[in-house]
Amino acid sequence: MKSVTVCWFEIPVQNMDRAILFYEKVFDCKLSRQIMGDFEMAWFPWDERNGGAGGSLVYQKDFYKPSLDSGPLIYFTSEDCTTELERVKECGGKVLFERRLIAPNIGFMGVFVDSEGNRIALHSTK
């Protein structure tokens, strides 16, 4: 059987400046903004040698719409998801699920709503 791997994700935003500020503070990182006419992206730092998928925030008024309760749920990896969940609260986001155990051999998860109204998840082994 052929394996299928996620290679890229895009998180829709309504206000790119607000979204960049939110995600840079929550994940303590710097996003790289790209403007292509009426299409904007802000890429998350990514090193393909470390595994996982790269991705970005994305804005285009007619094609991308943030969603709270429909569509895929994206999980970001964290050392301890409690850290990012606390930052979400400080940045005006809303925590839907505090850190909770998935299973001892899998780790923990938490879910929050970002500045744009998207439901986003975190995963950590601590």
Residue 3 lies in a domain: no
Q: Which CATH number does the domain housing residue 29 bear?
A: 3.10.180.10
Q: How many Å apart are CA 53 and CA 76, to the nearest integer? A: 10
For the chain, percent of residues with pLDDT exceeding 90: 81
Residue 78 lies in a domain: yes
Residue 66 backbone phi and psi in degrees, to 5: -60, 155
- Do the beta carbons of residue 42 and residue 33 sit within 8 Å? yes
Residue 106 lies in a domain: yes
What's the pLDDT tens digit per position in 73-123? Answer: 999 999 999 999 999 999 999 999 999 999 999 999 999 999 999 999 999
The total domain count for the chain is: 1
Residue 92 lies in a domain: yes
For the chain, percent of residues with pLDDT exceeding 70: 99
| CB-based burial label for 99 (10 Å; 0-12, 13-18, 19+) | buried
Domain, as residue range, for 63: 8-124
What's the pLDDT tens digit per position in 16-27? Answer: 999 999 999 999
Residue 108 lies in a domain: yes
Structure confidence at residue 71 as a pLDDT band (50, 70, 90): confident
Q: Could you tell me the pTM of the whole model?
A: 0.89
Residue 2 lies in a domain: no
4 alpha carbon, distance to own chain's centre? 21
Residue 90 lies in a domain: yes
